[in-house]
Amino acid sequence: MSKLKISLLAVLIFILSAAVSASAEQMMLEYDGALHLYDGDVYNLVVNNHEIYTPMKPIEFNDRALVPVREVFEELGASVYYNDSNQTVEISSDDTDILMTINNNIAYVNGVRTAIPDNVVPKLIAKAGESEKTMVPVRFISESIGMNVEFDGDLKTIFINSEHNSSAANSSAAVKSYITAVEPIVTDDNHVQIKITASGNVSGYSAFDLRDPGRIVVDLPSFGVMNVAENIAVNKSGVSTVRVGVTPERARVVIDADAASYNVNAVSDNELIIDIVSKVNPVVNVETQVAAAVTDPSAPAGSKLVVLDAGHGGQDSGAIGSLNGETILEKDLALSITLKTKEILENNGCSVMLTRSDDTFKTLQERPEMANNANAAVFVSIHINSVDNVPTANGTEVYYAETNNGNAYGATSSNLAENILERMIANMNSTNREVKTAQHAVTRLSKMPAALAEVGFITNDEELRNMASSDYQYKTAQGIAEGIMMTLENITVPQQ
Ligand SMILES: [Zn+2]
């Protein structure tokens, strides 16, 4: 009787991520010297049970999944060198040396000439405004380098493991132990524990977490599930549901939780407790709420409308930082600074429109379109910078797109960028990284003078601590507002 139940469970497909909405994401990608709209699937990346956070997540290219090679190999302990002059990428670890050339289908794996599968060549691809990543087909990693690659379409996740999991590889591995109970225990307002009880030893568990939406995943290899509901509602302290599923290889428990942190402990041979601290009382001043609605763009004739664009939002978190163990997202910092800039501009009699006033997603095309439709005088996008592996990188830079307009408004995008940077540095006292040009979609597609400010580096501890403080956010906002107001004096908005 119980045998029948088990075999039925074993063939159940994963229904684990019912909460995950479509992961297709619209974004602008820069490669081969041009910007391209990407609206295919975007995957999470988990390497040896660690989720890898990179602005350039795995994507599909010519129907093949591409993964960022540096992130994968650095997680595996290898060193990755990029040589700009001959466009080669070299990956070296104790037992592997791989040499690849950008846009070239031939790689050398431990000196052996190897064709990259599917005729997909390594490419330098950047999410607009972020740094370039070398992307290679995931099949190359699995076939040439002998790593175990697994897709989970429901979790929209690519798993890469440096060692073949023998129990997973051997599908005839008999299920010997079962999860027999999964119980949520609410301990206080911002604490939930999930207790997993099993019939066998649970010490071989593994755990990782995923974002957007937040999930904690606990796997028990070679375990089955016995008499446990597939969906357990919790709805307390940031934990919504616990989902329990099984494949021939493992039992998997997925906890839908907006967690600040979590811990998994084997409290006895057959009991696991996942301790989840919910995201409450953030220690830093990252405001994502705004009472005021978007300012009416039908401002009186003669007044000049300022459009402020808080970078990223919704499912697009932008760059990710960590301060005192707490995760800080670029989208939240950008919004907080944008709201303060709006407040200062309005106190000085300016009309301001926001492309987003809360944590919502807007495409890179919608943002300049709002400014164009409202016949705005200036467009200013606010972002936080990041760079991999250079924790000392710091400072403020402002971008404009050379092609976005001439001098039809009496001032150029270059004037706007110069003014904003000069006033930001004067108010913030940060390192001046100069005005730069780039083909960001938001500045390029705006008809009016447009600039994109990178306030500072979320990857620099000191700068992140500053940017998370209300005081520094006001200094930043003051600088941006002063630069805008200086430029507005010279702007005449052409009649539509
Ligand atoms: Zn950004």
Q: How many CB atoms lie within 10 A of CB 90?
A: 15
Kindly report, residue by residue over 117-166, the tens digit of the pLDDT: 777 888 889 887 777 888 888 878 777 677 778 887 777 888 887 764 43
Please tell me the predicted confidence (pLDDT) of residue 343: 94
| Residue 290 confidence (pLDDT) | 38
Peptide bond into 213 cis (omega under 30): yes
Q: Residues 12-58: pLDDT tens digits? A: 333 333 333 334 567 888 888 888 888 888 888 888 777 777 778 88
| Residues by chain with Cβ below 5 Å of ion ligand 1 | 311, 318, 383
Which helix H or strand E contains 466, and what residues bound it? helix 461-467
Q: How far is the CA of 117 from the centre of ligand 1 (A)?
A: 33
Contacts of 355 (CB under 8 A, 6+ apart): 307, 308, 309, 310, 362, 366, 367, 370, 371
Distance 130 CA to ligand 1 centre (A): 7
In the prediction, which pLDDT does 371 show? 95
Give dist(CA 246, CA 49) in Å, integer: 18
The whole-number pLDDT of residue 405 equals 65
Tell me which amino acid residue 277 is.
Answer: V
DSSP 163-179: S--HHHH-TTPPP-EEE
Q: What type of residue is 245?
A: G
| Cβ neighbours, 10 Å, residue 87 | 15
Distance 391 CA to ligand 1 centre (A): 17
- As a whole number of angstroms, the distance between CA 169 and CA 189 comes to 42
Q: Which two tokens stand for residue 325?
A: 């163990």
Cα(130)–Cα(364) distance, rounded to whole angstroms?
A: 14
Q: Retrieve residue 286's tokens.
A: 């990252």
DSSP letters, 325-344, are TEEEEHHHHHHHHHHHHHHH
Q: Please say if 60 is a catalytic residue.
A: no
Q: State the pLDDT at residue 406.
A: 66
H or E, element range at 465: helix 461-467
Q: Give the pLDDT confidence of 160-219 residue by residue, as tens digits.
A: 877 644 334 333 345 578 898 998 887 766 778 899 999 889 988 888 888 777 889 899
Instruction: Decide if 376 contacts 299 (C-beta within 8 A).
Output: no
Beta pairing, strands 432-437 & 396-400: parallel
C-alpha–C-alpha distance, residues 422 and 482, integer Å: 9
- Residue 316 Cα to chain centre, angstroms: 6
What is the C-alpha separation between 171 and 164, in angstroms, rounded? 13
β-partners of residue 250 are 221
Structure tokens at 496: 């539509």
Nearest Cα to Cα of residue 399 among 442, 438, 444:
438
Between the CA of 169 and the centroid of ligand 1 the distance, in Å, is 40
Distance 270 CA to ligand 1 centre (A): 45
- Cβ atoms of 79 and 66 closer than 8 Å: no
User: Which among 395, 424, 397, 412 is positioned nearest to 483, based on CA atoms?
Assistant: 424
Sign of CA dihedral 160, 150, 206, 216: positive
What whole-number percentage of the chain has pLDDT above 90?
31
> Is the CB of residue 386 less than 8 Å from the CB of residue 333?
no
- Partnered with residue 257 across adjacent β-strands are 239
- Ligand 1 centroid, distance to 218 Cα (angstroms): 32
Closest CA to 364 of 432, 265, 446, 306: 446
Burial class (CB in 10 A: 0-12, 13-18, 19+), 51: middle
Catalytic residue among 25, 71, 454, 482: 454
Work out the pLDDT band at 93, boundaries 50, 70, 90: confident
450-457 and 378-385: which strand pairing? parallel
Sign, CA dihedral 8-13-17-18, equals: negative
* Domains in the chain with CATH codes: 27-77+125-161 (3.10.20), 166-278 (2.60.40.3500), 305-488 (3.40.630.40)
Q: What is the mean pLDDT of the chain?
A: 81
pTM of the predicted model as reported, rounded to 2 decimal places: 0.46
Q: Which of 384-388, 412-416, 476-480 has the lowest mean pLDDT?
A: 384-388
